[in-house]
Amino acid sequence: MKFLITGGTGLIGKNIVQLLIRNNHHINILSRKEKDNSENLSFFKWNPKRQTVDYDSINDVDIVINLAGENIFGLWTSSKKERILKSRLQSLKLLKKLIKHRPNKVKQIISASAIGIFPNSQEAVYNEDSDLVGKTFLANVVKQWEKEIESFKEFRIAITTIRIGMVFSELGGIIKVLRFILNSRILFLVGNGNQKISWIHIEDLSEIFYKLSLKNYNGLIHAVNNNPTTMLDLLKKLSDNYSFCFKIFTPNIILKSLFKVFFMKDFYDDIVNSSKNVVSTEMKKISHKFKYIELNDL
């Protein structure tokens, strides 16, 4: 099979590309940057902001995987927030233009989405049938993102929306950010630290993407390992090798006010104080056996 991947240069994309290459597939990557091709890997330029794309990128492609989007970590200025939303919508719009205007044999699009769509809660459990949508900035981004994914229906291809949980990888994402914070030897805890983190290891995630393509899976699926942890347990696990000078338990109200003062209330609600207990009931359809279930498996 031949794959076309957007965001194939990112944390998740690189891992999926390696897995596909090990399985002898050819991969085209759409990137905003110039990159060198290698065996089984060809780079094509696109620019979602300007809506330009190299149309040859879709030749002979069977499966499209969409991962492109501005990284959500960093300072949430108004321009960063605009990029977080627009980059995702513009990437999907450009993919639609590509599929519409060049004859192709694409039979499936698998697009990233996120569990950030759900409201924060320490009690509620969300599976693929839950239709609650949060009222935060990120929940609104994901809602619009998924609407754009659904619009691929016009091509009569399988549409797979994969709501990804917190991806655990030593190479990036939340683990790298927390390790950076822990290096200061000050352990910050928001409230009681019981915020739920629904997570998945990057190796499990890549295999799930691959299985969804082999099964031509159509519909929504949650990519989480069905064993959420808490922020406190995750920090304890990551701080095994540190001796701490300070442990700071910060009441929610104080932190929230501080973030508000710096115009970062949305970042507080969506990232710092995020709590989602998300599970998948659909995963059984692709019979994935998770390698990483407990924090001790890391």
Ligand X SMILES: NC(=O)c1ccc[n+]([C@@H]2O[C@H](COP(=O)([O-])OP(=O)(O)OC[C@H]3O[C@@H](n4cnc5c(N)ncnc54)[C@H](OP(=O)(O)O)[C@@H]3O)[C@@H](O)[C@H]2O)c1
Give me the least distance between CB of 141 and ligand X, in Å please: 9
- Residue carrying the six token digits 């509620």: 124
Strands 158-164 and 108-114, how do they pair? parallel
Residue 37 interacts with ligand X (CB under 6 A)?
A: no
For residues 97 to 116, the per-residue mask of contacts with ligand X, x marking binding by CB under 6 A and - elsewhere, is ---------------x-x--
**Touching ligand X, residues 81-100 (CB under 6 A):** 83, 87, 91
* Beta strands per DSSP E along 127-258: 158-164, 166-168, 186-190, 196-197, 199-201, 219-223, 229-230, 246-250
Residue 69 engages ligand X in binding (rule: CB under 6 A): yes
Residues paired with 28 in a beta bridge: 4, 42
Site string for ligand X, 173-202 (x = CB under 6 A): x-----------------------------
Which residues, 6+ apart, have CB-to-CB distance to 225 below 8 Å?
165, 199, 200, 201, 204, 290, 292, 293
Residues ≥6 apart with Cβ < 8 Å to 200: 164, 165, 166, 167, 168, 208, 223, 224, 225, 292
The 3-state secondary structure of 70-120 reads CCCCCCCCHHHHHHHHHHHHHHHHHHHHHHHHCCCCCCEEEEEEEHHHCCC
Considering only the stretches 4-12, 150-158, 229-237, 275-283, report the one whose residues sit in contact with ligand X under the rule CB under 6 A: 4-12
Binding flags for ligand X, 219-248, as an x/- string (CB under 6 A): ------------------------------
Q: Which stretch binds ligand X (CB under 6 A): 6-14, 176-184, 231-239, 242-250?
A: 6-14
141 counts as binding ligand X under rule CB under 6 A: no
Answer positive or negative: Cα dihedral of 94, 115, 172, 84. positive
Is there binding between residue 167 and ligand X (CB under 6 A)? Answer: yes
Residues in the chain: 298
Binding status of residue 68 toward ligand X by CB under 6 A: yes
Q: Which of 4, 106, 157, 164 binds ligand X (CB under 6 A)?
A: 164
Task: Pick between residue 31 and residue 161 the one whose CB is nearest to ligand X.
Answer: 31
Residue type for position 185: R
Q: How far is the CB of 117 from ligand X (least distance, A)?
A: 10
**Rounded Cα–Cα distance for residues 70 and 88 (Å):** 7
The residue nearest ligand X at its CB is 10
Number of residues this chain uses to bind ligand X (CB under 6 A): 25
Per CB under 6 A, 7 contacts ligand X: yes
Shortest approach of ligand X to residue 149 CB, angstroms? 11
- Residues 218 and 99: their CA atoms lie apart, in Å, by 18
Interaction of residue 213 with ligand X, rule CB under 6 A: no
Q: Does residue 48 bind ligand X (CB under 6 A)?
A: yes
List residues binding ligand X (CB under 6 A): 7, 9-13, 31-33, 48, 67-72, 83, 87, 91, 112, 114, 164, 166-167, 173
